[in-house]
Structure 1
């Protein structure tokens, strides 16, 4: 596989657009077009502009199809990817691949077009014709309603070189170029096939493609050089001109303080660029001179904010030493620079914008008179180009006004708001990987990450959809199919499903847990009445322990016809959820509803009852015994000077006394997990407590607690004391050693080094949340073999060496999640029942409904969350969305339920963006079935895929599982049926993909 893109002929591009539009109603995978209203058109550079947004000079404005996809989705201002004297193979040798990482804030290590400059020129001219065609033929707007803006760099000598000079002149007037003539001739020859576009329209396509330029300068370019380039473009080329300005104009201290405040303290950069780049004191007089010059020439001049923000590669983000940061972390710097320059020039300086713009802030930016606005990061995320539509519609609703001057006060307010805007701040914790451990399959790769991440694999997409339709009873039946404890999990589940939700790449995850609880509440009575004791399967089982795992095991087995008895030593079921988790998080009335399901199924519940030994239970006639005893052996942390109170003991007393215990004025909690958060939040509520300090040897970012629990502790007033390691206890104080963070350890968290420096924290009570241990003694007393850590040895069904005895939940491997214990319960229950304990109730969503939600940013609101759910098990296509070049294609194969994804090798430059967003542990550009332009390309690749050797005869050369085949697609018995049908479909219905 090569990282060199092959430019498609204009004929192929036209055939592709027309065929895809006519058969699927899409263009290059974009489903919903933007149709401009001519009455809203603005003017810039003396030309019309239907809306002020488009792709920034970057991966989304490099090839003709990229520009066409942008236009269809809503772009009208196109900052074409930068050209410079170094191009083609010479430049490619300087760019390491992959070169884009956009899963949160974005990084890239490429900067100019990877094509040769003449190729770039051809792509831009072809795109000019494609947009003109779509505007007229599909009624998307006026043929003169969009503008191209060339980006040139990086020094005057290069810009004046014959190669770049020819490019500039050809973009100013393309009528003399072969490409322009060929594109026009193709359209004229096919004019009779078009529905709206006439020969007169084609002849009217202007050869005056571009009359504006944006100067892109490398970091360290001296002000004299920048001004000389602008002077040249204005005077000699008579082009309206923007200069890209870097956030380094703000100064190192401002940038460092801003990013630190917003949680980007790990982003590394030095003072070098701030000292070597254009200085603010030099920039202001230069800009004033250029404004005066442009006015005298009757041309428009301004700045483009911002260019790039260089940072160091510290964690292997990209295979480079330095990379450029963009997206949500760049926005606060970019908008601050816009505000500063607006204030400096009293709003008279024209400002174009790029730097973290998206649907959430576009109205603020453009509403301050800062436009055009070009974007890159947002359209590199799921939803892709389709995100442009929402931005265009926001601007239409707002009602854009002609440029008069920038709104300084509005920009200052936007800059102030940016540093505390959750859409731009880094989350309190580093996001965990959202990928499954599986490799992406060649076919049917659609998967819902929420369902994969859930230990019991709840059919989330289905019950979300039913909930959205108001069908709560049906939704509840889907939930109960896999989930024995909808009220407990709907209240306190750690919701790994939400952590993996694709919506995290948009804004906030779908509120899956809340929706589950909503359905449970709405349909409780109906669900309860629908449950009846199942027909007996002739088996009996005892469950020792009535915590969540034991309750779940009893539910699953009873529903399968097993006669079940639960032994619980406490007065009520619920285990640690009832006895330890504070009542302000979940109380016994919630747990009682899940208990009622067990009672309705006929489960015998013996509370206040110590279970007999396993041997007695077996003699009593139980075929199976499931031990769900939990990790009840409490650990302790021994420090010099004393032993802290155990967190679980504290929480249990807190619940028993209804929160009336008095630990003193100052409480210190040691730990960073969910139990530590519960403990600290409980302590805050105790009478007489003035301060609760939570001590942890790393920072919040590396705490194991769920982010939601951590933020609730912050909101409750818990005072976090980070980078401290407990050393000793003194009367009224805890002495800690200060720590520093080092390189990541094997867990991915930063390593910790203790220093000799100490800090004294007031402490009337010290509580340690240090984890619990499994009861090895209990297991050994019952004849169960344990390992060196005291954990019971079990098989794949969680069975022990004692026949018919199983161990589940926290007592198996130590404290874990409620839902993980439920997964154990399900495994053991199926073994005990001898049959499955749940079925399949999933059903697909309507595909058109899913496509209608793609690319729309929307936070949770009073609307139903189902409207935000992307139904990934029906439609994933993340790799299709995020590919700038459209090299991942969704293919409809007749007879197959799901669309299939094929990778087109000749369109790919191995940017790697699809790797970030594939829910599998895979990179689609390497791992999906691939269409090659020719056999030689396939020989350079290891991808499974095919090259068409004789299109008319249907002959192909195919690599499948590493073996080569020569096949006729219609009779390819050497291949799996699905692969053969996929190839046959490409040859029959997607001929425009086959490169000539």
Structure 2
């Protein structure tokens, strides 16, 4: 049915719980359980609460299975999804899909329930009964250790309508409702299926589901209306009441300044909602009156901080004009609202909280007296509901104290710290694209994004695991299969693998480069003597250029038994890395260790010999020649007056003189790439230099430099002067035109336009770092065809030039790039020369149990140590199963292999799984789909299948082709592995079938 969720009957819910636990040891896909101490609990609204946390009124409290999954993982306070007069199909038709994107901070179009009010009621009652059962059956805690809290909106007239009024009354006393009776009757008839849940436990289940409510109002709701709703719920319904407050209470200027100062200046919003929403001056007296009213009725009153924050859609984040922000960027705003109200009420106003809490801050927020805390964004990320366990464990205290107010001083401290909190400050650079360009396959879709992104597809997870086990020699041998430069790449690789790492969605990427260097440093001495070549080949190859590409080619060929010699015009091998890159980036000895690895395999190196004539090499008996000459031709900075020093020339002089240069007091570096950062950092180390400025035509967000390189420059004291274009350099001044950013292009990068406004910068030395090009004359003099960029025209597979037996690799072949791409080129050339693949695949040695043990666990990264946070994505991915609030993507064990199936009837097409799938795909559309009925299948465009009720017939749609398959029988038109998957679901996962 596409985006229409189908509620699961209570009997099917219970049957799945029991069957899945017996077969998989999991609960709706959640692998680990949180077991509360029944003797330790908090009290709120006169009821027990084992942990102070749970899911917010959003996607995680819309269906019974969501509530169950949350409870199993440690949630105990459930703010049920808001109900209103508009519901069901009418509301669903108004919600643009996809409606959620939670890659970093989170945005949504709409989080109100898309079920009817009656359907929502039924889901909550089913969830209530299920939690009562599993709390006892699986020893998860006391059967009275959790609470439901209803959320209603959005105006008093709507709340008084019969369907919403019946909802409220039914949640207060469900005893006479059909669903309550149905659930109780099922349990009475099936008590024999349970081992610990008894008749006495069933009889103890009470129908008073809730005694508290959270008031949710739309932006612009007048204070009189908010007060009227709360007063009605307190006086007429006798409910303990929270009123949701919006971040707009801060005022536009405060909110704008806070977000801008923390790197969220790109988030667009106007002052509209700030003017129309409840004003702080009106909020305080209103809340005082409501506190007094609730107290007179012996009820508790408080505020819920905060509602989501409305912002403009500017970059097609979601298919709407406005969206609601939550998560890490909402946290500072929510804290500020909490601080302000706590000041005004001297800590006596109770505050429930939702606004960017996660493992890293939950103890601080709760420790200040703010609870219950509900979350959404953190459990929309990989790990999903499983993240509740770690938060719950962090909140375990030896002493449980009753709530006595807000610790205003502790809250003040939190507010002061948040502006520099690395978990909430936005990185300077935008998030990299972490998706592959490939479409997700129907089967075997687990993939390590780091391996996929690496140009040489190193077995990253494999050597990472070995490093953490202290098996350094094994780890280095795995690395050397595909990467002969572990020291160079261990120090200065741009590690695009880390940009793609799934761990980025937890806290930060696994320090893959560091793990490589640790392996190299610890195993080099022992591994070198073991290196050798394979059977000698009657083949002699010359490599021109001793940079990374040349050394890599030498290693690969020598190990394959080829007689290989590297020639370089300098007296030191290593090319740019040895002669240009500053020593504070990589020690000279480590560069030569990479050369030693190639020598150990039998490669020969000749220094101080310039090669201009390829034919002379052939005359010396070389059968093949690899050109790895680099890109050293400078690109000049065009100025109306004056001249800049070339970046590579400067870095070479800096290295030769050990920084003893005369640059004056003020140095300006023009550029924004990694080389520019090296230049600026080197200039800061030159005696006499007081100021180093880095001038760039866009702002820092659009600099091509890596985030790490940029931050290191900032730490070294380099000052950024952005949105400027240099015009002339004379008399100790650099004159620049000021620029403004234009509209984003298709990639999201904004254009730049010069203005007529000029700015003067003090400048004694000007250095240009705007790129390098290739010496085309070297190629043409040797009869090699070149293109318009002076690059050789190459066979796209072998990288052979038009001159037979002559190949090109590295910067000189494709333009200035990075070390690992030079290695990739060399590997491809060497494979062409020896006529077979180089480097064996080394699969991770791990288990399901190990992988699942650290899913959903966030950790602080330990500096300088081996990083053990790898999720082994090459073994198990399952991001899509974890991030789906409704559990609509499921893992199925097919003969020992992990396969993912999308369950149509559980899905409302929120789109969250698309964000976190490592492929360029959306699992809810692109994985094989299990349909509940033939009508649902006809209503969808997904490939998938439906098992016809009461039979073994299966209707299948694959690649647009329809066919009929019968369980257990062969079918020439259906791939046997698809048949195995369908058979497995029919025979072993019957609980997935409605």
SS class of match (1:523):
helix
Residue 658 (1) aligns with residue 658 (2): yes
Q: Which moved more, 1:125-134 or 1:744-753?
A: 744-753
| Residues 124-144 of structure 1: per-residue CA shift (max 9 Å, x gap) | 000001111110100001111
Q: Matches of 1:842 and 1:783 in 2, distance apart?
A: 44
Partner of 1:817: 818
1:961 aligns with 2:959: yes
- Between stretches 364-373 and 771-780, larger displacement belongs to 771-780
Q: Give how far 1:114 is off.
A: 0.5
Q: Which residue of 1 aligns with 2:946?
A: 947
Is residue 321 of structure 2 the alignment partner of residue 307 of structure 1? no
Give the whole-Å Cα distance in 2 for the aligned partners of 1:680 and 1:444.
47
CA deviations on 1:702-748 (whole Å, 9 max, x unpaired) are: 10001100000000000000111112212101111111112112442
Q: 1:111 deviation in Å?
A: 2.9
Matches within 5 A, 1:124-135: 124-135=124-135
TM-score by length of 1: 0.99
Q: Which residue of 1 aligns with 2:274?
A: 274
Equivalent residue runs for 1:383-394 within 5 Å? 383-394=383-394
Q: Deviations over 1:43-78 (max 9, x none)?
A: 101111111100000001100000000000000000
Q: Distance in 2 between matches of 1:398 and 1:362?
A: 17
8 Å contact from structure 1 (residues 510, 865) kept in 2: no
Q: Is the 8 A contact 1:541 1:832 kept in 2?
A: no
Q: CA RMSD in A?
A: 1.1
Aligned to 1:918: 917
- Mapping of residues 497-646 of structure 1, within 5 Å: 497-646=497-646
Match of 1:909 in 2: 908
Does residue 883 in structure 1 map to residue 884 in structure 2? yes
Structure 2 partner of 1:730: 730
1:750-899 to structure 2, matched below 5 A, reads: 750-795=750-795, 796-861=797-862, 865-894=866-895, 896=896, 898-899=897-898
Aligned equivalents of 2:242 and 2:400: distance in 1?
21
- Cα distance in structure 2, aligned partners of 1:619 and 1:379: 67
Which digits, 9 at most, give the CA deviation of each residue in 1:959-996, with x for residues without a partner?
Answer: 1121111001312422112111000000000001111x
Distance in structure 2 (CA, Å) of the matches to 1:549 and 1:491 = 16
The range that moved more, 486-495 or 737-746, is 737-746
Deviates further, 322-331 or 853-862: 853-862
Cross-structure match for 1:109:
109
Using the TM superposition, give the Cα deviation of residue 865 of structure 1 relative to its aligned residue in structure 2, in angstroms: 4.3
Deviation, structure 1 residue 86: 0.4
SS of equivalent to 2:231: helix
Aligned length: 992
Asked if the contact 1:727–1:737 (Cα under 8 Å) also holds between the matched residues in 2, the reply is yes
Q: Secondary structure at the match of 1:330?
A: helix
For the pair 1:21 / 2:32, whether they are aligned, the reply is no
Residues 91-490 of structure 1 aligned to structure 2 (within 5 Å): 91-397=91-397, 399-490=399-490
- How far is the alpha carbon of 1:936 from its aligned partner? 1.6
CA shift, 1:484, in A, is 0.5
Distance 1:885 1:307 in 2: 22
Residue 151 of structure 1: CA displacement? 0.3
Cα distance in 2, alignment partners of residues 883 and 351 from structure 1: 29
Gap runs ≥5 in structure 1: none
Change (3 A) 1:613 1:747: farther
Whether the 8 Å CA contact 1:534–1:601 is kept in 2: the answer is: no
User: Is the Cα contact below 8 Å between 2:514 and 2:866 reproduced in 1?
Assistant: no
- Paired with 2:572 and 2:614, the residues of 1 have a C-alpha distance of 22
1:843 and 1:503 mapped to 2: Cα distance?
A: 17
Asked if the contact 2:512–2:867 (Cα under 8 Å) also holds between the matched residues in 1, the reply is no
How far off its partner does 1:844 sit?
3.9
**Alpha-carbon distance in 1 for matches of 2:469, 2:426:** 34
What CA distance in whole angstroms lies between the structure 1 residues aligned with 2:555 and 2:881?
42
Q: C-alpha displacement at 1:359, in angstroms?
A: 0.5
Note the C-alpha offset of 1:535: 2.2
2:985 is the counterpart of 1:986 = yes
How far has the Cα of 1:534 moved from its partner?
3.1
Question: TM (normalized to structure 2)?
Answer: 0.99
Maintained 8 Å contact 2:518/2:866 = no
Residue 643 and residue 863 in structure 1: after superposition, are their counterparts in 2 closer, same or farther (change >3 A)? closer
Name the CA distance, whole Å, in 1 between partners of 2:628 and 2:397: 58
Segments of 5+ residues of structure 2 without an aligned counterpart are none
The answer to whether the Cα contact below 8 Å between 2:931 and 2:945 also exists between their aligned partners in 1 is yes
Report the 3-state secondary structure (helix = DSSP H, G, I; strand = E; otherwise coil) of the residue aligned with 2:447. coil
Q: Report the alpha carbon displacement of residue 954 of structure 1 after superposing the two structures with TM.
A: 2.0
CA distance in 1: counterparts of 2:671 and 2:508, whole angstroms: 27
Deviations 1:812-859 (A, max 9, x none): 121111001100010001111222221122234211111111111102
User: 1:185 Cα shift?
Assistant: 0.8
Whether the aligned pair in 2 keeps the contact of 1:490 and 1:516 (CA below 8 Å) is yes
Q: Report the 3-state secondary structure (helix = DSSP H, G, I; strand = E; otherwise coil) of the residue aligned with 2:794.
A: coil
- Written as runs of structure 1 = structure 2, the 5 A alignment for 1:37-52 is 37-52=37-52
Give the Cα–Cα distance (whole angstroms) in 1 for the partners of residues 392 and 911 of structure 2: 28
1:693 maps to 693
What is the deviation of 1:38?
A: 1.7
> 2:277 and 2:877 mapped to 1: Cα distance?
43
Q: Deviations over 1:773-820 (max 9, x none)?
A: 112111111111111222111111111111111111011121111001
8 Å CA contact 2:844–2:874 kept in 1: the answer is: no
Q: In terms of mean alpha carbon deviation, does 180-189 or 610-619 score higher?
A: 610-619
Preserved contact between residue 468 and residue 867 of structure 1 (Cα < 8 Å):
yes
Distance 1:397 1:649 in 2: 61
